[in-house]
Amino acid sequence: MIVILKPDMGEKNPEYRQILDFLAHKPNIKTRVHQEIGAQQTLTEIYLIGDTAALDKTEIESLPGVERVVRISEEYRVLGRHRDDGRATGFEYNGVKFSQDNLNVFAGLCAVDNPEHVEMMLKALRDNGQLCTRMGAYKPRTNPYSFQGHGKDCLPWVFELAGRYGIKVIAMEITHDSHLVEIQEALHKTGKPTGVMLQIGTRNTQNFELLKIVGRQRELPVLLKRGFGITLEESLNAAEYLASEGNRNIVFGLRGMKTNMGDPHRNFVDFAHVPVVKRLTRMPVCIDPSHSVGTRDRAPDGMLDISHVTAQGVIAGANMVLVDFHPVPTKALVDGPQALLLEELPYFLEDVAIAREAYEKRRELARNFLKKK
C-alpha cells in the first residue's frame, strides 16, 4: 500500500508526524518514506509493507495531509501501475523531460574514440536541435582483446565538448560501480557542463550488486537495458531493484533478444513490447534499433532496416530512441557496421517525427473511440 501525501507535506508539517504516528501503531506494518524533491514541489510517498490487507484505505485517506492511498499488487511495487494509480510517469533531468508521453532521441557514438569524431557528432546534433546523445566510455566486449573503451581518461573532454554544444544528457554505459564514481567525479571537476544517464547494458541487467549501488544514488538517472536472454518479467524486476533502493528515474530499454530466430538481424526485435512495458510499469520506454538490427541492410523500398524498426517502435509509443551514428563508420572502434552517417541525421529525425505524429494520431483515435463506448 502507498500513502501519497499532499504536495510539499514534509517532515516540518505536524500532519506528516501525525500520519507516521498513526501508521506506527498499526500491528505488523513497516513504513518506508520516499521523497521526490522537484523544482516546483516535493512529493512524499509512504510505502507500507506487511499486513496491509487489514488496513482500512478510507480511514488512512481521511487523515489530514493524505492525498490518496493506492493498494499495490505484489509485482513491481515501486515501478508498477496499480489499480486506481493515477501517479504521473517519468521525471525531469537536467532540463530534459522523460515520461511515457513524450519522445527523446539519443543519437551518438557507440564508443568514444577521438575528440575529432566526438566533436563532429556533437556539432551535427546541435545543428539539428538535439539535446541528448549516447557516448560509450566503458565498453563490455565479447572478445577480451577488443577495444574496451577509453574509460575515465576521456570523460573530462567528452563532458566539456558536450557542454560546448548544448548537450544536456549523455547516455553512458557503466559496467562496474567504480565507473559511477569516476563519472560523478569528472562531472564535478568539469563543473557539470552536461548530464549523464547511466546505462546498464543487457549483459548486466541481472548484476544485482551493481543495480543496488546505482539505485542508491539519486543524482543520475538510469537507462536499464532488457536482458537479451531472460524473460521480460525478470528484466522488469531488475528495474525494480534500482527503484527499491531509491532511484526511480529509470528508462527501460528494449534492444532485441538473442536468438537465431531473429536472423539476419543481430537480435530479434522486441519493440512489440513497448506498449506492454508501459502497461505494466510507469517507466518511459526506450528502443535501441542499432543493437537490435546490427546492420545497414536496406529494404527494397529504400529504407534501412534500422529506420523501419525505429518507426515500428515509435509508432507503438516509444519514449526514447538510442541510436548509433558515426562520422566515419569505417574508422569506428566499436559497431561501425551498424552506425548511421551524420548526413543521415536530419533524414532520420524527420522519419522519427513522422512516426511520432502517427502515434499521436492513433492515440487520439483510440481515446475518442473509448469515450463513445
Q: Which residues bind ligand PEP (CB under 6 A)?
A: 110, 136, 173, 201-202, 225, 255, 288, 291
Give the nearer residue to ligand PEP in terms of CB position, either 167 or 223: 223
Give the nearer residue to ligand PEP in terms of CB position, either 45 or 173: 173
Instruction: For residue 173, state whether it binds Mn ion (rule: CB under 5 A).
Output: no
Let me know if 22 is exposed, middle or buried by CB neighbors in 10 A (0-12, 13-18, 19+). middle
Provide the minimum distance between the beta carbon of 9 and ligand PEP in the complex, in angstroms, as a whole number: 40
Provide the minimum distance between the beta carbon of 49 and Mn ion in the complex, in angstroms, as a whole number: 39
Q: If contact means CB under 5 to 8 A according to the sort of partner, which of Mn ion, ligand PEP, none does residue 305 touch?
A: none
**Distance from C-alpha of 154 to C-alpha of 110, rounded to nearest angstrom:** 14
Provide the minimum distance between the beta carbon of 228 and ligand PEP in the complex, in angstroms, as a whole number: 7
Instruction: For residue 323, state whether it binds Mn ion (rule: CB under 5 A).
Output: no
**Distance from C-alpha of 326 to C-alpha of 341, rounded to nearest angstrom:** 6
**Distance from C-alpha of 272 to C-alpha of 194, rounded to nearest angstrom:** 33
Q: Using CB positions, name the residue nearest to ligand PEP.
A: 201
**Distance from C-alpha of 188 to C-alpha of 109, rounded to nearest angstrom:** 23
DSSP symbols for 48-85: EEESGGGS-HHHHHTSTTEEEEEPPPSTTTTTB--TT-
H helix runs in the chain, sequence order: 14-24, 57-61, 115-127, 155-164, 177-189, 208-216, 232-244, 274-280, 289-293, 305-315, 345-372
- The span of 126-134, 160-168, 302-310, 330-338 binding Mn ion (CB under 5 A) equals 330-338
Provide the minimum distance between the beta carbon of 291 and ligand PEP in the complex, in angstroms, as a whole number: 4
One-letter amino acid identity for 365? L
CB 283 within 8 A of CB 89: yes
Closest of 171, 151, 166, 122 to residue 284, by C-alpha: 171
**Distance from C-alpha of 284 to C-alpha of 276, rounded to nearest angstrom:** 12
For Mn ion, the binding residue among 45, 335, 344, 351 (CB under 5 A) is 335
CB 44 within 8 A of CB 5: yes
Cell numbers at 238, concatenated: 531488475
Q: If contact means CB under 5 to 8 A according to the sort of partner, which of ligand PEP, Mn ion, none does residue 201 touch?
A: ligand PEP
Site for Mn ion in 56-115 (CB under 5 A): 110
- The span of 31-39, 241-249, 260-268, 335-343 binding Mn ion (CB under 5 A) equals 335-343
Provide the minimum distance between the beta carbon of 107 and ligand PEP in the complex, in angstroms, as a whole number: 12
In a 13 Å sphere around the CA of 191, the CA atoms on its Cβ side amount to 5
Give the nearer residue to ligand PEP in terms of CB position, either 136 or 193: 136
Site for Mn ion in 104-163 (CB under 5 A): 110
Provide the minimum distance between the beta carbon of 171 and ligand PEP in the complex, in angstroms, as a whole number: 8
Provide the minimum distance between the beta carbon of 225 and ligand PEP in the complex, in angstroms, as a whole number: 4
Give the nearer residue to ligand PEP in terms of CB position, either 179 or 291: 291
Q: Which residues bind Mn ion (CB under 5 A)?
A: 110, 335
